A and B are shown apart, each in its own frame.
Chain A
Amino acid sequence: MTTTAAHVSNARPLQESGEIRLVDVAKQFGNTYAVQNINLTIPHGSYCCLLGPSGCGKTTILRMIAGHETPSSGEIYIGKDMVVGKAPVERGTAMMFQSYALFPHLSILDNVAFYLKMRNVGKEERRQKALEMLQRVQLDHLKDRMPAQLSGGQQQRVALARSLITNPKVLLLDEPLSALDEFLRLRMRGELKSLQDELGITFVHVTHTQPEAIALADMVVVMDTGRIDQADTANVIFNKPKTPYVARFMGGQNVLTGTVESNSGGVFKLKSADGSTFEAKAGDETASAGSKLSVSVRRDHVALRRGDGTTEVNSIAGVVDATEYQGSYVKVTINTAGGVFVANVSDRAYFAEPVDTGDKVVASWSTEDVHILSKADTGVAGDPYLDGGH
């Protein structure tokens, strides 16, 4: 007994690489730049997340790669081809829209077959191929339904099938999970990741949700207003943020700023404005005495004890502002002389010695857990992520 599963051939010559290269790309709307000085290489076959708050230009970049927006200057390459000015199908890209944009007047099957219809493929043949694609996303039993009759998750799969039938080198996803509820979001997140593994094509995924980016991406690109702040693996972005902005935006970090007092044996000694002192191991960073330096300390690498003031190195004193139970840990927000400091204390440690709002505490950490940021923290004004409330 043999059952031959119908498979849509995705075979593609190796030289047709899905590497995306943006060179000095800028996009101007009127007098303002949506994005500027964008230089980015997304390797073939990687899952890349463009991450940033709304209005940072991440969607503009996606739309320029897709061919729905023309850059004001700069070059975009997909594989070896310069694609600026080319139609999406010529680029080998396919885009999945935020609201999926399924055509409301066409059945699921005809939605998926749309690309083939545009290429004048006969009715029987295109419906057969569309059905195979629907089988792939396990929706072939719904082929005659209309989009309005499907749930959000099903609509998303149809949108995926409709995009994939173009056999793209690059799949572009514009906030694909934002229209789903929490439960479905986590499930579809897993499905997207395994789909990308299976297809081996480049995925570029725009999101404003940090956990989504960290969970999915081989490469996370963190964006600030129109610029790329850092592009690296999720692990590096989370543990070794380059700038105070990235540290705050990714969450999970405390940013401390101090004046360099000395640099001995590769260890910077810093003194903050409120008098607390801390140390940081210098990598290839250089900083002369008297200059400002910002460092980050992960919230979960902080120990907490009761205490009124501290003179120790690598510690900061303050008053508990709020505690928030998170299940496996407790988020303790502390008001210090230098600003808000957050410690994520494991539930075991916390309940051994609970602290409450108004208690005087000292937070401390070890020098190994201090990471030096590439620029001194200046942005207090206008930085909505200063509280790092994620």
Chain B
Amino acid sequence: MAASSPSYGPRPWTFYVLAALFALFVIFLYGPMIAVLILSFQGPSASLVFPLRDPSLMWFDELFNPRRTGDVVGAFNRSLPLAVGVMLLTVLISVTAGFAFRRRFKGATAIFYTAIASLIVPGLVLSIGILVTFRYLGWPASWYTSALGAHLSWALPFGLLIMFAILGRLSPSYEEAAYDLGASKWQTVKEVVVPIVFPGMIAVALFGFTLSYDEFPRSWLTVGSKNTLPLEIWTMTTNVTSPALYALGTVTTIVSFLVIALALSSIILIQRKRSRGK
């Protein structure tokens, strides 16, 4: 007779409830994206709904050689440099502000809350405000001026919060050790602080990029006469009734994923190098 196997107790019923809840959450999160991905390969029937008939790449072709759709390529050529610009400025300002806040100057808290408060202001309202101000000053609104500012008002607070958390954890003894070993202030920043917080800077960059690349409400009135990608998609949903819309969704999602993958893999690479040696 076989010895009875030890029993470690059954899983509680809550496990199954929570697992089901989580499964639902995942389906809700990725289901629509997958639906769009599949339907972007719709055939010439041009149906916007399932089922998928005669899969083809024709709507991707339509996207890049537009006959009926709007200026997708142009929109992408504006959205990408805008996102990169927002990314660079967010990193630069967050890191330098992080250094400043490390020294607890007078009024630091007030400035911090002022910066964070722009997260609460509704994006559309902010968009209107910027447009009105630009009109009043007689400046033309465009993606590289007013929209850049609008996006920064959204990306910067996130960048600041991340950078504060990272620099807050950075032990001051690294800087003191560098000073002890004869490093100047600039050498300390360049050789010690920045390399140590570099993974955090990538995270800030990632936030800056994606927040700008996907931004709709803050772009709406601030981009001027030419659309960024999210606005172009919005326009297409009202004008274009073809799976080209889905193809566009697929392409932009892929771009976002590529950026995230690039950022994460560089963080992992750095950390692996630090823990395993070269």
Contacts and interface: CB of A to CB of B under 8 A. Distances in A.
Interface of A: 66-68, 87-89, 93-95, 97-99, 101, 103-107, 114-115, 117-119, 144-146, 148-149, 162-163, 166
Given A97-B173, A99-B171, A103-B174, A119 B275 contact: no
Contact of B174 (A94, A101, A115, A117): A101
A101 B187 CA distance: 17
B182 interface: yes
Contacts of B195: 103, 105-106
**Interface of chain B: mostly helix, strand, loop or mixed:** helix
B6 interface: no
Q: Which of B173, B177, B198, B278 has the most CB of A within 10 A?
A: B177
Contact of A68 (B179, B198, B270, B274): B179
A107 B277 contact: yes
Interface string B7-19: 0000000000000
Contacts of B198: 105
A97 B177 contact: yes
A226 B21 CA distance: 59
Contacts of B178: 103, 114, 118
Contact of B196 (A88, A105, A107, A115): A105
Contacts of B270: 105
Interface string B131-161: 0000000000000000000000000000000
B61 interface: no
B212 to A, nearest CB: 29
B192 A95 contact: no
B173 A119 contact: no
Interface of B: 171, 173-174, 176-184, 187, 191-192, 195-196, 198, 270, 273-278
A101 B171 contact: yes
A144 B278 CA distance: 7
A87 B184 CA distance: 10
Contact of A118 (B171, B176, B181, B275): B181
B171 A103 contact: no
A47 B181 CA distance: 22
B176 A166 contact: no
Contacts of A67: 180
Contacts of B273: 146
A89 B181 contact: yes
B196 A144 contact: no
Contacts of A95: 176-177, 180
A99 B275 contact: no
Contact of B180 (A66, A98, A148): A66
Contacts of B187: 118
B176 A162 contact: no
Contact of A88 (B173, B182, B275): B182
A87 B276 CA distance: 35
Contacts of B192: 103
